[in-house]
A and B are shown apart, each in its own frame.
Chain A
């Protein structure tokens, strides 16, 4: 199975800051990589798919990049509404795997 290592586990930043979350895979795969935002009690919300494609309706301050084993989610200007937990997911193989999650807070 492909293992996904996500970092950091917690991130605290000011409103307006640029923040970056990384996900490293244990082996190369073909960019079927998604990023999700999850707020308390809700289902995960798709932000980015195929590593860099912004889901319809998601604010443009979110962006994804990367290939091979290293992937990044960037929030260009952190907003109060972005307080949530973020997960990466590979969906290249039949047995999907997720990162451990990154909790994003406002300073």
Chain B
């Protein structure tokens, strides 16, 4: 069974940094692109970043370019999101999402509060 477990969220001041992790299991992690998606309180879903299987291609939503960095460790089945220069509007739940062969699979999310 595919499992994605996020961690690393918490309370941080504006301008601060946070590193999110996602531990993957139940599938061959190195075979798949991975994503981060977020949801601000009371708002809709917003894709944040995507990374290719080997880590050599990365894409970001415009609002986080230059501040966030997605990375992965295929040997440890881990996905990361390094978040720097955090702003109030980065507050929300961050989800790790697998782009499977035919469908996405989501973790339960980790809460980031910038205040």
Q: Write the residues of chain A forming the contact surface with B, with a CB cutoff of 8 angstroms.
A: 34, 36, 43-44, 46, 49-50, 53, 55, 87, 89, 91, 94-101
Contact = CB atoms under 8 A, between A and B. Distances in A.
What is the interface of chain B mostly: helix, strand, loop, or mixed? Answer: strand
Contacts, number: 51
13 contacts: A43-B106, A43-B108, A46-B103, A46-B105, A50-B102, A55-B103, A87-B44, A91-B99, A94-B59, A95-B47, A97-B47, A98-B44, A98-B45
Nearest to B95: A43
B50 A34 contact: no
B61 A95 contact: yes
B103 A49 contact: yes
Contacts of A99: 44
What is the interface of chain A mostly: helix, strand, loop, or mixed? Answer: loop
Given A34-B103, A49-B103, A50-B103, A98 B46 contact: yes
Categorize the interface residue count of chain B: 20 to 34
Nearest to B35: A96
Nearest to A42: B108
